[in-house]
């Protein structure tokens, strides 16, 4: 952490100088911080943006990938202008924009079609406003994938987690989810999760598969239970002062380089199944639940919705109500025909 702070401070002066004006004649370098690692489709999506942006922006500016395992630190540094860009999730951004965790409400969505339509039409406009209020430009919202439960041993029912120490992310959705199951939640950043599994400090936690399989958790907690308890939208963020200070043509080129949201979602959806088979072939366990088994998890977890929204505070209720209204609108438009 101290090493990263020194790196961030070293980058800070040039970033802030550039952020309030157009790129100078001397070539500047921006860092895009993310926990996505090489070998994952999430990394590939990030790199597509970086490569496409570097092609169109011009010779005065270069964007580079920076691996930062702590998503909360990424958001703090982008808000402060010490890093310019980030690729993360609403859960990772909960330290800066707590209301974003509403998108992770356990068992909120009926299916992917409902989730995508409501997110794009009702959720993203509100999220962009909330991010802007905290000094962040929300450039893109796509998919990281569904969060599922990971354990050191098979944990196939809600009862199997009662009293068990489970890693809880800084997102309120994670905390409330495990609390509703009766687990003993231990909050820790991702960087501490891996040694926590290895030492036995925690029995498991929850992660999206395409990220999980690239981390040490795939070895320490080889049981992946497909609970699909909440969905992780992916986010591309930028320091807002930097974004607003760009010349219009540079800003337009940057936006044009963002990956198509439908393409990005398809990459995630198409990759998960084959990656699960590869994981199983190497000795990992993927436990697919029946609809009845999954509903047993959902029945318990849904009881925490109100507590989660209240614990987030701020404008969480506004966002939660908007998403639920969107669900009704979606049903009226597409289900009742």
The percentage of residues in the chain with a pLDDT greater than 70, rounded to a whole number, is 92
Structure tokens at 191: 């960087």
- Averaged over 16-36, what is the pLDDT? 68
- Averaged over 144-171, what is the pLDDT? 94
Is the pLDDT at 204 greater than 70? The verdict is yes
What pLDDT band is residue 337 in, cutting at 50, 70 and 90?
low
Contact 43, 270 (CB under 8 A): no
pLDDT in tens, 263-292: 999 999 999 999 999 999 999 999 999 999
The helix/strand/coil state of 100 is helix
Which DSSP letter does residue 7 get? H
Taking the C-alpha atoms of residue 42 and residue 46, their distance in angstroms, rounded to an integer, is 6
Q: Within 13 A of 109's CA, how many CA atoms are on the CB side?
A: 22
Contact 88, 300 (CB under 8 A): no
pLDDT at 173: 85
What pLDDT band is residue 189 in, cutting at 50, 70 and 90?
confident
Taking the C-alpha atoms of residue 71 and residue 93, their distance in angstroms, rounded to an integer, is 7
Q: What is the mean pLDDT of the chain?
A: 90
Q: Going by C-beta distance under 8 Å and a sequence separation of 6 or more, which residues neighbour residue 146?
A: 208, 209, 226, 228, 229, 230, 231, 232
pLDDT in tens, 63-104: 999 999 889 899 999 999 999 999 999 988 988 999 999 999
Contact 165, 182 (CB under 8 A): no
């Amino acid at each position: 952490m101290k090493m990263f702070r020194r790196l961030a401070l070293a980058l800070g002066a040039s970033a802030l100088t550039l952020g309030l004006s157009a790129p100078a004649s001397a070539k500047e370098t921006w860092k895009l911080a993310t926990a996505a690692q090489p070998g994952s489709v999430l990394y590939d999506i990030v790199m597509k943006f970086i490569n496409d942006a570097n092609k169109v922006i011009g010779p005065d500016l270069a964007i580079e990938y920076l691996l930062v395992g702590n998503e909360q630190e990424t958001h703090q540094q982008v808000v402060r202008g010490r890093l310019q860009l980030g690729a993360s999730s609403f859960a990772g951004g909960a330290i800066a924009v707590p209301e974003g965790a509403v998108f992770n409400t356990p068992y909120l969505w009926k299916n992917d079609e409902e989730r995508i339509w409501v997110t794009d039409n009702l959720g993203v406009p509100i999220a962009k406003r909330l991010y802007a209020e905290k000094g962040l430009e929300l450039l893109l919202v796509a998919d990281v994938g569904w969060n599922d439960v990971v354990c050191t041993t098979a944990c196939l029912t809600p009862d199997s987690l009662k009293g068990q120490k489970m890693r809880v992310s800084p997102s309120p959705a994670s905390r409330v989810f495990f609390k509703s199951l009766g687990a003993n939640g231990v909050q820790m950043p991702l960087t501490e999760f891996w040694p926590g599994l290895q030492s036995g400090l925690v029995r498991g936690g929850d992660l999206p598969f395409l990220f999980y399989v690239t981390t040490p958790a795939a070895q320490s907690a080889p049981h992946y239970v497909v609970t699909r308890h909440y969905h992780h939208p992916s986010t591309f963020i930028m320091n807002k002062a930097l974004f607003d200070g760009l010349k219009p043509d540079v800003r337009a080129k940057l936006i044009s380089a963002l990956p198509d949201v439908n393409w990005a979602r398809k990459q995630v959806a198409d990759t998960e199944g084959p990656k699960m088979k590869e994981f199983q072939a190497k000795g990992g366990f993927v436990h697919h639940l029946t609809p009845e088994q999954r509903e047993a998890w959902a029945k318990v977890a849904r009881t925490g919705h109100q507590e989660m929204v209240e614990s987030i505070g701020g404008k969480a209720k506004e966002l939660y109500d908007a998403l639920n209204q969107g669900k009704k609108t979606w049903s009226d438009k597409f289900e009742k025909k």
